[in-house]
Amino acid sequence: MMRETSDQARPGVAQRRGGLARDKRGLAAIEFALIGGTLIFGLFNMIDFGRYLYAKMEVQNAAQMGVQLVWNTCNTPNLPATTACTNESAALTTGVQSTSLGSGVTVVSGYPTEGWYCVNGSGALVSVAAISSAKPADCTAAGVPANQPADYFVVQTTYTYAPLFTAFSVANVLPTPITSTNYMRMQ
């Protein structure tokens, strides 16, 4: 006996093979898995990047709030603020931690500082003397002798940012901790 091995010898086999090639029932699920994975990856990265930008703005706001509260607390009769104002440290901490980041925002070691500053010819603020020394007569040290130096209070704040989706987030490469420096003219 001879065996026939062709598909034509077995009815229905050729039809089933052709039917599988035309069957598209699982195609949408496969496409969704491929495209959906990419979209979810992008969505998670946008969420982390947005949270990073928000944290950066809040750290800048915290530095601003800190120096403003020191200015409100230690204005004219209590200058220089770092030596003559008894509530300067408490005001600074309250201001810095008043944002939505709360106690996660801290003052960088070595700050606050206070000194005599002048604006140079290019518009940049330049330290010309420590606040503990006498006020310079003019801004010759900054290259603009016609200007008068002013008392500035300086604070730098920091916050350590942690991405939500650490395993596959591009936010891992963004600089952290986030820092911000703010200057406030005290007089």
Instruction: Supply the DSSP string of 72-100, one letter for each residue.
Output: HHS-GGG-SHHHH-TTHHHHHHHHHTTST
In a domain, 38, yes or no: yes
Q: What pLDDT was estimated at residue 34?
A: 86
| Two tokens, residue 64 | 């601003």
Which residue range(s) make up the domain with 177? 25-113+152-185
Q: Are 120 and 142 in contact (CB under 8 A)?
A: yes
pLDDT in tens, 96-144: 999 999 999 999 999 999 999 999 989 999 999 999 888 999 999 888 8
Residue 91: name the closest of 81, 100, 79 by CA. Answer: 81
Task: Tell me the residue type at 135.
Answer: K
pLDDT tier, 84 (very low <50, low <70, confident <90, very high otherwise): confident
Give the Cα separation of 71 and 73 in Å (integer).
5
- Model confidence, pTM: 0.77
Range 9-37 average pLDDT: 70
In a domain, 17, yes or no: no
Looking at the structure of the chain, the number of domains it has is 1
In a domain, 161, yes or no: yes
